[in-house]
């Protein structure tokens, strides 16, 4: 059964406030905002660190290391969350008096993910007393044992879901450990290390560590990094994460971000003072991630670490070049993936979940391809690349209502040995297979997705906040929506749907569809853009109008600011004759 995207009205809520725009009040209510406290983003409303599992043990170890000036090495990850986590940890410990702090980040193609045995052996060359993982480690049982054999202590800070067996680390700080009393399991890796550093500062302050010669650091200066890592990793923006992101955006928009962040923001469409989560997600994060996808994440980390504006600008320029290269590779792979999906449908083998593989595909890009095909088909997708030694590495992306890591775990239970290794979140995961097992895994994946699917689960459904009136298709209302976030996962940016007549259309840039449209039954004319449209709808089918699911944003060109629709889904208009 091929499930197409279905547009449904977002269920209403009960929040009403006379202090804000009535339409915005409705939007908040539909996102389960119950009171003004839910959108009060002051730092004092953050959850306390004391309930994070393992934090007391980690603080004891860190306090001792600072006291004796021990050598500490952070082991990061090759994505934006891992990069920002590494920089938060390095900067915070250095600000609190650590003089022997360094980092190591795995190369995606040489070392694989996390605290592998090889990475530990590389780290041992730095002769560390303590290894601290950021955004990884919860699944690295062997790596921790190798570290122990080398005489290192290990603190794991991670947010990924634990497996059946925990590593034998000296401390594990992870809000997703079983029985965790912490009030949010949605922290990104950067949120976990930030919380640990805040708790360490509090511990040190209470014992009189800071003084005239060692001033207490302002860890709020790291919140621009926390915001970027949190948004980039697509974790749910519950109230606690919204506070972290909101305060990070405040620093950015007040011009107080670090040189590397400022340099990356030069590639945003927004301007300082109006930077939003979408700017972080679509401009900053992809450029950081490009380093880890194509080269080495050390470039992204060094850019964020730099205190020199010129040097940071040079590195941001190199990250932008890598991102352009990434886009070119992704574009080719996506076309090949679409051909594979079309062939599946023609042959009648397309299932509930799609597994795609081409021997030419790049390991660092398959996650992006999986995401694009997921958006196109409304199905969970795993894209695989050849990893050598008769092994495939896959990257999975899921849809609303389907927990992809649970699906992989279920496959492991019913098909022992089929998956070599896996890990991840509800929406995204990574895994490895033996090449000869791809067909068997593909069948198991589709069957397991089918067994986990339900019509009530939101699978393949797009929720809309309704229609916008002419009085709302304005620059002022677009500005209000932009500054009323932060919007993101599980607190989605307001999305609307209407029917429009297409007055003009053309392809611009790298396959983006630029439209000028008039709302049906109205005189309002407005610009719209569908990024990476890939023929969302045939031009002939647009002659009778289109139905758009869209967000309202601001476009600035040569100093002129106008409202613009960002098209998320573009469909032929409904046939009114039926």
Give residue 459's region: left, alpha or beta (phi > 0; psi -120 to 50). beta
Structure tokens at 457: 């689960």
Q: What radius of gyration, in Å, describes the C-alpha atoms of the chain?
A: 24
The pLDDT value given to residue 319 = 97
Q: In the prediction, which pLDDT does 454 show?
A: 62
State how beta strands 546-557 and 496-508 pair.
antiparallel
Dig out the tokens for 544 from the structure. Answer: 């009778």
- The string over 473-487, giving b where at least 16 C-beta atoms fall within 10 Å of a residue's C-beta and e elsewhere, is bbeebbbbbbebbbb
CATH code at 97? 3.90.1640.30
Determine the pLDDT at residue 534.
55
For the chain of 578 residues, list the mean pLDDT of each consecutive stretch of 10: 68 84 95 94 96 97 97 95 98 96 88 86 95 95 96 96 92 96 96 98 96 95 98 94 98 96 90 91 95 93 97 97 95 94 81 93 95 89 94 92 90 94 84 95 94 63 93 95 93 96 86 91 93 62 85 89 93 63
Question: 205 and 273, same structural domain?
Answer: yes
User: Are 449 and 562 in a shared domain?
Assistant: no
**Runs of H (alpha helix) within 1-109:** 22-29, 55-67, 80-95
Other residues' Cβ atoms within 10 Å of the Cβ of residue 12: 11
Give 561's strand partners: 556
Show the CA angle centred on residue 335, arms to residues 334 and 340, nearest 5°.
95
The two most distant CA atoms of the chain are separated, in Å, by 80
Out of 437, 457, 477, pick the residue that ends a domain.
457
Per 3-state DSSP, what percentage of the chain is helix, strand, and coil (rounded to 5)?
40, 20, 40
Residue 471 in domain: yes
What pLDDT was estimated at residue 537?
A: 54
* Structural domain count, the chain: 3
How does DSSP classify residue 27?
H
Residues 394, 539: one domain? Answer: no
Structure token pair of residue 522: 């109205």
Contacts of 308 (CB under 8 A, 6+ apart): 259
For residue 552, give its domain range. Answer: 462-572
Q: Please name the residue that has the structure tokens 């054999």.
A: 149
Q: 408 with 313, same domain? A: no
Q: Which residue has the tokens 């010129």?
A: 310
Q: Which burial class, exposed, middle or buried, applies to 528 when counting CB atoms under 10 A from its CB (0-12, 13-18, 19+)?
A: buried
Look up the CATH number of the domain holding residue 485. Answer: 2.40.50.460
The separation between the first and the last C-alpha atoms of the chain, rounded to the nearest angstrom, is 25
Enter the tokens of residue 237: 């923006």
Q: What is the pLDDT of residue 74?
A: 98
Tell which residue, 406, 408, 326, has the closest CA to residue 367.
Answer: 326
Q: Which residues contact 180 (CB under 8 A, 6 or more apart)?
A: 51, 52, 53, 174
Say yes or no: 241 and 264 in one domain.
Answer: yes
Q: What angle do CA 130, 133, 138 make, to 5 degrees?
A: 120
> What pLDDT shows up at residue 190?
98
Q: Is residue 420 a part of any domain in this protein?
A: yes
Is 27 within a domain?
A: no
The answer to whether the beta carbons of residues 228 and 488 sit under 8 Å apart is no
Boundary-marking domain end, from 407, 423, 457: 457
Q: What is the pLDDT of residue 291?
A: 94
Write the CB contacts of 431 (distance below 8 Å, at least 6 apart in sequence): 382, 393, 394, 396, 408, 419, 420, 421, 422, 423
CB atoms within 10 A of CB 208: 7
CATH of the domain at 431: 3.10.310.30
DSSP tally for the chain: helices H, then strands E? 17, 17
Q: Record the tokens describing residue 113, joined without a space.
A: 């993910």
- 503 in any annotated domain: yes
Asked whether the CA dihedral 73, 78, 84, 85 is positive or negative, the reply is negative
Residues 79, 110 within the same domain? yes
**Residues 427 and 491 grouped into a single domain:** no
In this structure, the answer to whether residues 419 and 549 fall within a common structural domain is no
* This model's pTM is above 0.85: yes
């Amino acid at each position: 059964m091929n499930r197409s995207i279905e547009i449904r009205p977002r269920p209403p809520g009960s929040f009403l406030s006379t202090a804000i725009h009535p339409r915005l009040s409705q939007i908040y209510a539909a996102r389960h905002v119950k009171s003004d406290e839910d959108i009060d983003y002051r730092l004092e409303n953050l959850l306390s660190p004391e309930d994070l599992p393992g934090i007391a043990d980690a603080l004891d170890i860190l306090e001792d290391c600072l006291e004796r000036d021990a050598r500490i090495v952070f082991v990061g990850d090759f994505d934006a969350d891992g990069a920002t986590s590494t920089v938060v940890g390095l900067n915070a410990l250095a600000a609190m008096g650590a003089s022997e702090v360094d980092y190591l980040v795995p190369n995606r193609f040489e070392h694989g993910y996390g605290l592998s045995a090889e990475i530990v052996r590389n780290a041992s060359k730095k002769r560390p007393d303590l290894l601290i993982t950021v955004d990884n480690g919860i699944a690295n049982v062997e790596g921790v044992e190798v570290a122990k054999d080398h005489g290192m202590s290990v603190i794991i800070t991670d947010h990924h879901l634990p497996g059946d067996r925990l590593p034998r680390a000296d401390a594990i700080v992870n809000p997703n450990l079983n029985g965790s009393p912490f009030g949010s399991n949605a922290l990104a890796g950067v949120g976990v290390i930030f919380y640990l550093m805040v708790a360490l500062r509090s511990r040190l302050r209470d014992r009189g560590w800071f003084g005239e010669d060692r001033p207490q650091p302002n860890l709020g200066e790291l919140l621009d990094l926390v915001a970027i890592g949190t948004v980039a990793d697509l974790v749910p923006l519950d109230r606690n994460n919204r506070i972290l992101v909101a305060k990070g955006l405040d620093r950015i928009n007040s011009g107080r971000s670090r040189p590397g962040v400022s340099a990356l923001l030069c590639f945003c469409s927004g301007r300082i003072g109006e930077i939003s989560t979408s700017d972080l997600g679509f401009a900053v994060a992809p450029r950081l991630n490009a380093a880890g996808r194509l080269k080495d994440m050390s470039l992204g980390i060094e850019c964020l670490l730099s205190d020199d504006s010129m040097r940071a600008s040079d590195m941001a320029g190199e990250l932008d070049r890598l991102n352009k290269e990434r886009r070119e590779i992704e574009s080719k792979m996506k076309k090949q993936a679409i051909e594979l999906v079309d062939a599946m449908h023609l042959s009648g083998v397309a299932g509930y979940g799609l597994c795609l593989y081409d021997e030419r595909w790049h390991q660092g890009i398959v996650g992006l391809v999986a995401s694009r095909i997921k958006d196109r088909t409304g199905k969970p997708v795993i894209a695989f690349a050849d990893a050598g030694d008769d092994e495939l590495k896959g990257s999975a992306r899921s849809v609303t209502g389907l927990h992809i890591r649970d699906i992989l775990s279920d496959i492991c239970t019913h098909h022992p040995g089929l998956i070599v290794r896996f890990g991840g979140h509800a929406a995204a995961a990574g895994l490895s297979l033996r090449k000869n097992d791809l067909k068997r895994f593909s069948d198991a994946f589709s069957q397991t997705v089918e067994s986990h699917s339900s019509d009530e689960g939101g699978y393949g459904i797009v929720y809309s906040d309704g229609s916008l009136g002419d009085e709302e298709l304005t620059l002022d209302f677009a500005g209000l929506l932009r500054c009323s976030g932060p919007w993101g996962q599980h607190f989605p940016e307001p999305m609307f749907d209407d029917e429009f007549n297409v007055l003009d259309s053309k392809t611009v840039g790298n396959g983006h569809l630029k439209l000028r449209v008039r709302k049906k039954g109205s005189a309002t004319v407005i610009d719209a853009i569908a990024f990476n449209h890939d023929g969302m709808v045939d031009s002939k089918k647009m002659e009778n109008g289109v139905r758009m699911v869209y967000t309202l944003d601001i476009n600035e060109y040569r100093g002129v600011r106008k409202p613009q629709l960002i098209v998320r889904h573009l469909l032929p208009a409904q046939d009114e004759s039926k």
